Structure 1
Amino acid sequence: MSGRDDLVMAPASPGAWQPPPEREWLAGHVIRPPVLAWQTGTLLSARLIGCDETAARALPGVATVLRRGDFLGIAADTAPQALQAAHALRARWQAPPKAAASGLPLARRIVAEHGDAAQAMADAAGRSAQDYPWPLAGLQAAGCSAMAEWRDGALRVWLPSRRPGALRAELAALLGIGEDRITLICWQAPGHDEDPLYAHHAAADAALLAHSAGRVVRVRVEAHELGATQAVVNTHIESAWTRDGEIAAYAVNTAVDARGSAAVMHAPPLALWLTRTTAPVTEIEPQASAGGDTRDDAILPPYRFDSLSVTQADLPGQPRVESTPAQAARAHVFAHESHLDEVAAASAQDPVALRLRHLDDTRGAGLVRRVAAQANWQPRGERPQAQQNVRRGRGFAYASTIEAGLADGGQPVHSWSAWVAEVEVDATTGEVSVTGVTLGHDSDAGEQGGVDAVALQQEAARAAQQLTVDGSRSDSWPAANLPAVHDASLPALATAQLPEVRVGGALRPASATLGTSAAVTLPAAPAVANAIFDATGVRLREPPFSGERIRLALAAQANPESTPKRGAARKRNWLLAGATAAAGLFVTAMPWRAPIAPVAPPGAGFYSAATIERGRLVAAAGDCAVCHTAPNGARNAGGLALDTPFGTIYSTNITPDVETGIGNWSYAAFERAMRQGIHRDGRHLYPAFPYTAFAKTSDGDLQALYAYLMAAEPVRAKAPETALAFPYNLRPLMAGWNLLFHSPKPFEADPARSAQWNRGAYLAEGLGHCSACHSPRNALGAEQGGRRYLGGGEAEGWEAPALGKLSHAPVPWTEQALFSYLRTGYAPHHGAAAGPMAPVIEELALLPEEDVRAIAHYVASFGDAQPDAALASAQARQLEQRSADAARTLGGPAARLYQNACAVCHQSDQGIRQFGIKPSLALNTNLHGDKPDNLIRVLLDGIPTPGTSDLGYMPAFGESLDDRQLTQLVHYLRKRFAPDKPAWDNVDDTLARLRAAPAHRPNHQPNH
Structure 2
Amino acid sequence: MTRAFRWMTWLALSAAATLAHADDVERGKYLATAGDCAACHTARRGEPYAGGRIVPTPFGAIPAPNLTPDTETGIGAWSADDFYRAMHSGEGHDGRSLYPAFPFTSYTKVTRADTDAIFAYLKGLPAVRRAAIPDSLRWPYRMRSLMTAWRTLYFDEGEYKTDPARSAAWNRGAYLVQGLGHCNECHARRNSFGAMVTDPFLAGGIVPVQNWYAPDLSMGTHGGLAGWTETDVVALLKTGRSSKGVAVGQMAEVVLRSTQHLTDADLAAMATYLKSLPDRDPPPQRESAANARELAMNGQKVYTDRCAGCHAADGRGKGDAYPALDGNGSVTEPTGINAIRMVLSGGFSPATAGNPRPYSMPPFSQTLSDDDAAAVVTYIRQAWSNKAPSVSPNDVRAYRSTPGG
TM over 0.5: yes
- Contact 1:941-1:958 within 8 A present in 2 as well: yes
Tell me which of 792, 795, 802 is aligned to 2:204: 792
Matching residue within 79, 84, 102 for 1:671: 84
1:851 matched to 2:262? The reply is: no
Find the aligned partners of 1:978 and 1:610 in 2 and give their Cα distance: 51
> In the TM superposition, what whole-angstrom CA distance separates every residue of 1:831-863 from its partner, at most 9, and x where no partner exists?
111111112122111111100100110111014
Q: Tell me if structure 1 keeps the 8 A contact 2:187–2:203.
A: yes
How far off is 1:926 after superposition?
A: 1.9
| Cα distance in structure 2, aligned partners of 1:627 and 1:741 | 23
Give the CA deviation at 1:660: 3.6
Corresponding letter in the other structure for 1:756 = A
Q: How much does 1:790 deviate?
A: 1.1
Whole-angstrom distance in 2 between the partners of 1:768 and 1:816: 19
Which of 317, 335, 338 is residue 931 of structure 1 equivalent to?
A: 335
Residue pairs, 1:682-761, within 5 angstroms: 682-718=95-131, 720-761=133-174
Superposed, 1:306-321 pairs within 5 Å as none
* Alignment deviations for residues 401-445 of structure 1 (CA, whole Å, 9 cap, x no partner): xxxxxxxxxxxxxxxxxxxxxxxxxxxxxxxxxxxxxxxxxxxxx
**1:836 and 1:639 mapped to 2: Cα distance?**
19
Quick one: higher RCO (CA 8 Å, sep 6+), 1 or 2? 2
Pairwise CA distance, 1:761: 1.0
Change over 3 Å in CA distance of 1:679–1:799 after alignment to 2: same
Mapped partners of 1:810, 1:741: distance in 2: 27
Counterparts of 1:520-531 in structure 2, within 5 Å, are none
User: What residue identity is the alignment partner of 1:925?
Assistant: G
Change (3 A) 1:716 1:627: same
Q: What letter matches 1:619 in structure 2?
A: A
The percent of aligned pairs where both chains have the same amino acid is 38
Contact kept in structure 2, 1:810 and 1:923, CA below 8 Å: no
| Structure 2 residue aligned with 1:158 | none
Q: Does 1:903 align with 2:308?
A: yes
Q: Does residue 817 in structure 1 map to residue 232 in structure 2?
A: yes
User: Which structure has the larger Rg over C-alpha atoms?
Assistant: 1
Verify the 8 A CA contact 1:777 1:793 in the aligned structure 2: yes
Name 2:191's counterpart in structure 1: 778
Map of 2:6 onto structure 1: none
Change beyond 3 A, Cα 1:861–1:746:
same
Once the two structures are TM-superposed, the CA of residue 745 in structure 1 deviates from its matched residue by 1.6
Kindly tell me: are residues 923 and 713 of structure 1, through their superposed partners in 2, closer, same or farther at Cα, counting changes over 3 Å?
A: farther
Which residue of the partner structure matches residue 55 of structure 2? Answer: 642
Q: Distance in 1 between matches of 2:385 and 2:47?
A: 41
Residue 992 (str. 1) matches residue 398 (str. 2): yes
Once the 2 structures are TM-superposed, how far is the Cα of residue 951 of structure 1 from its aligned partner?
3.9
Kindly provide the CA deviation profile for residues 228-273 of structure 1, in whole angstroms up to 9, marking residues without a partner as x: xxxxxxxxxxxxxxxxxxxxxxxxxxxxxxxxxxxxxxxxxxxxxx
- Please state how far the C-alpha of 1:715 moved relative to its aligned partner: 3.7
How far 1:810 moved relative to its partner? 7.8
Distance in 2 separating the partners of 1:806 and 1:648: 38
Task: Note the C-alpha offset of 1:662.
Answer: 2.6
Deviation at 1:655, TM superposition (A): 2.8
- For the 8 Å contact 2:80–2:116, the answer to whether it is kept is yes
Deviation at 1:934, TM superposition (A): 1.4
Q: Deviations over 1:784-816 (max 9, x none)?
A: 334x11111232321111112574548433323
Q: Distance in 2 between matches of 1:979 and 1:824?
A: 26
Which residue in the other structure is 2:8 paired with? Answer: none
The equivalent residue for 2:216 is 802
Mapping 1:330-409, distance limit 5 Å:
none
CA distance in 2, matches of 1:650, 1:969: 39
In the alignment, the residues of structure 1 paired with residue 344 and residue 80 of structure 2 have an alpha-carbon distance, to the nearest angstrom, of 43
Match of 2:17 among 478, 486, 490: 486
**Cα distance change, pair 673–902 in 1 and its aligned pair in 2 (3 A):** same
Instruction: Structure 2: state its 5+ residue gaps.
Output: 1-11, 281-292
Q: How many angstroms does 1:696 deviate by?
A: 1.2
Q: Is the 8 A contact 1:791 1:806 kept in 2?
A: no
Corresponding residue of 1:956: 363
What are the residue-to-residue correspondences of 1:392-471 with 2, within 5 Å? none
What secondary structure does 1:980 align onto? coil
Aligned residues between the structures: 373
CA 1:725–1:968: 2 relative to 1, 3 Å? same
Write 1 or 2 for the structure with the bigger share of helix: 2
- Once residues 666 and 846 of structure 1 are traced to their aligned partners in structure 2, the CA distance between those partners, rounded to angstroms, is 28
Asked if the contact 1:776/1:794 (under 8 Å) is kept, the reply is: yes
1:64-79 correspondence to structure 2 within 5 Å: none
In structure 2, relative to structure 1, the CA distance for the partners of 1:722 and 1:966 (3 Å cut) is farther
Decide whether the 8 Å contact of 2:326 with 2:386 is kept in 1: no
Q: Equivalents in 2 of 1:709, 1:811: separation in Å?
A: 39
Counterpart residue number, 1:974: 381
Q: For the Cα contact (< 8 Å) 1:811–1:923, is it kept in 2?
A: no
Do the aligned partners of 2:311 and 2:325 also contact (CA within 8 Å) in 1? yes
Tell me if structure 2 keeps the 8 A contact 1:916–1:951.
no
Alignment partners' CA distance in 2, 1:616 and 1:960: 45
Structure 1 residues 950 and 851 mapped into 2: Cα distance closer, same or farther (>3 Å)? same
CA-CA distance at 1:725 after TM superposition: 1.7
Distance 1:643 1:704, change over 3 A: same
Question: Aligned AA for 1:932?
Answer: G
Matched ranges for 1:510-549 at <5 A: none
Q: Is the 8 A contact 1:639 1:653 kept in 2?
A: yes
What is the one-letter code of the residue matched to 1:676? S
1:918 to 322, 327, 337: 322
Task: Kindly indicate whether residue 66 of structure 2 is the aligned counterpart of residue 653 of structure 1.
Answer: yes
Q: How far has the Cα of 1:646 moved from its partner?
A: 2.8
Residues 793, 890 of structure 1: CA spacing in aligned structure 2 closer, same or farther, 3 A cutoff? Answer: closer
Amino acid at match of 1:680: H
Show the counterpart of 1:831.
245
Classify the secondary structure of the residue corresponding to 1:713: coil
Any idea what SS the aligned residue of 2:383 has? helix
**Paired residue secondary structure (1:856):** helix
User: What is the CA–CA distance in structure 2 between the aligned matches of 1:855 and 1:775, rounded to whole Å?
Assistant: 17
Residue aligned with 2:206, SS: strand
Q: C-alpha separation between the residues in 2 aligned to 1:817 and 1:616?
A: 27
Question: Are 1:860 and 2:275 matched, yes or no?
Answer: yes
Give the Å deviation of 1:720: 4.0
Contact kept, 8 Å, 1:818 with 1:827, in 2: the verdict is yes
SS in 2 for 1:649: strand
- Tell me what 1:18 maps to: none
Alignment partner of 1:617 is 2:24: no
Q: Secondary structure at the match of 2:186?
A: helix
Instruction: Give the Å deviation of 1:959.
Output: 4.6
The alpha carbon displacement at 1:921 in A equals: 0.7
Moved more, 713-722 or 676-685: 713-722
Distance in 2 between residues matched to 1:775 and 1:654, nearest whole Å: 27
Contact 1:646–1:724 (Cα < 8 Å) also in 2: yes
Q: CA deviation at 1:770?
A: 1.3
Amino acid in structure 1 at the alignment position of 2:259: L
